[in-house]
């Protein structure tokens, strides 16, 4: 048996391959476990570095960029996080240190050591609840996060605008779910930190609700998506090429029609009839009026388009199996 190191920020004792991931409530470790299983089939045991201590290491595989200063031997990088959160994922000097980089980022394909992948999803189709049985008109499922600086295409901020518009204009047509909405949003300047602290105190003493539309945390997104007609699926950043994450697929799996905003290439990979493109509307008010116009027949057409897409070869390039196959085959070929 050969051994290889798997690096992921703050992960030890093979925790990336466990059933439970304390870092990502809604993202199971299915991809990591499948990756490890496929390498085992090739005679390579993938472990976190602490587990492999003292063993000869064939290569090191990094899940997003991090410090590699003391890592010797062949190195590979899965650059799946967007560059506003992980800037090293597009740092050309850093990327030269790797035998191969696996990334969705089409802007990097000119580099000789870059292989294209898509953010993986465990493609599946559940029973689609029909239009008239869906009691939630629209929803948003995300964690309460924000960038610590002003950036172009900030969709964290757009999510807040969606929430606030509904709370003021259409509170009975919207429900908010996810982590952290029971307290105020993140604060980074001195003055905003003071305001946040006061609001936080108010939530504890006076049951103040920073986000009145918040319905709580959930164990499974399907609990909501199977009962909602529409979902606001906004990536963290708008305009990145092929940065299509699990957000739109989580909605698809349960037959919930997504309002999508994110990758500027979305319609090149997913048919327009499967989702509502937020770029086609001036603001949330305009989106809402359009949603109200969708009757049962139109909704059923969206669901049929979603079903056809998930059953197509076009969806398979987003599947975890494709993701794992590309990575394991490339690295195994290099070793051979």
| Rg of the chain, C-alpha, whole Å | 21
E runs forming strands in the chain: 2-7, 44-47, 57-63, 75-79, 100-103, 114-116, 136-141, 175-177, 214-216, 228-234, 257-261, 276-277
pLDDT level of residue 186 (50, 70, 90 thresholds): confident
Decide if domain 131-315 falls under CATH 3.40.50.11660: yes
Between residues 93 and 207, the one the model is more confident about: 93
The pLDDT of residue 23:
52
pLDDT at 238: 97
Model confidence at 200, pLDDT cuts 50, 70, 90, reads confident
Model confidence, pTM: 0.91
Question: Taking Cα atoms as reference points, which of 55, 13, 327, 115 lies closest to residue 335?
Answer: 327
| Percent of the chain whose pLDDT exceeds 90 | 82
pLDDT, residue 153, reads: 94
pLDDT, average across residues 153-161: 96
Give the pLDDT mean for 313-329.
Answer: 97
Between residues 309 and 10, the one the model is more confident about: 309
pLDDT band at 106 (very low <50, low <70, confident <90, very high): very high
Where does the pLDDT of residue 219 fall: very low under 50, low under 70, confident under 90, or very high at 90 and above? confident
Q: Assess whether pLDDT exceeds 70 at residue 28.
A: no
Work out the number of other CB atoms within 10 angstroms of the CB of residue 97.
Answer: 15
Residues 6+ apart with CB under 8 A from 331: 59, 61, 76, 100
pLDDT bracket for residue 21 (50, 70, 90): low
Q: 3-class SS at 3?
A: strand
User: Are 142 and 224 spatial neighbours (Cβ–Cβ below 8 Å)?
Assistant: no
Chain Cα centroid distance, residue 58: 30
The two most distant CA atoms of the chain are separated, in Å, by 65
Residue 25 has pLDDT above 60, yes or no: no
């Amino acid at each position: 048996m050969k051994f290889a190191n798997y690096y992921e920020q703050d992960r030890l004792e093979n925790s990336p391959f466990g059933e439970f991931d304390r870092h990502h409530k809604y993202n199971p470790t299915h991809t990591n476990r499948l990756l490890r299983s496929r390498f085992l089939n090739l005679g390579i045991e993938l472990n976190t570095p602490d587990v492999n201590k003292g063993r000869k290491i064939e290569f090191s595989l990094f899940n997003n960029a991090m410090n590699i200063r003391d890592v010797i031997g062949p190195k590979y990088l899965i650059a799946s996080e967007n560059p506003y959160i992980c800037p090293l994922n597009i740092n050309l000097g850093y990327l030269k240190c790797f035998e191969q980089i696996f990334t969705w980022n089409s802007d990097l394909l000119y580099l000789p050591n870059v292989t294209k992948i898509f953010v993986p999803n465990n493609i599946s189709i559940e029973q689609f609840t029909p239009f008239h049985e869906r009691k939630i008109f629209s929803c948003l499922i995300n964690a309460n996060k924000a960038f610590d600086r002003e950036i172009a295409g900030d969709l964290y901020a757009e999510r807040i605008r969606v929430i606030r518009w509904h709370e003021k204009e259409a509170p009975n047509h919207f429900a908010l779910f996810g982590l952290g909405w029971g307290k105020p949003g993140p604060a980074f300047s001195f003055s905003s930190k003071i305001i946040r602290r006061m609001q936080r105190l108010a939530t504890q003493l006076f049951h103040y609700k920073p986000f009145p539309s918040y319905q709580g945390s959930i164990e499974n997104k399907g609990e909501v998506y199977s009962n909602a007609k529409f979902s606001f699926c906004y990536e963290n950043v708008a305009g990145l090429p092929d940065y299509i994450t699990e957000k739109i697929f989580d909605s698809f799996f349960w037959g919930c029609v997504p309002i999508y905003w994110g990758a500027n290439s979305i319609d090149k990979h997913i048919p327009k009839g499967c989702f509502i493109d937020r770029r086609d509307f001036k603001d949330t008010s305009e989106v809402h009026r359009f949603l109200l116009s969708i009757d049962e027949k139109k909704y059923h057409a969206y669901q049929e388009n979603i079903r056809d897409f998930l059953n197509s070869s076009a969806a398979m390039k987003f599947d975890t199996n494709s993701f794992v196959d590309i990575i394991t085959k490339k690295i195994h070929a290099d070793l051979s």
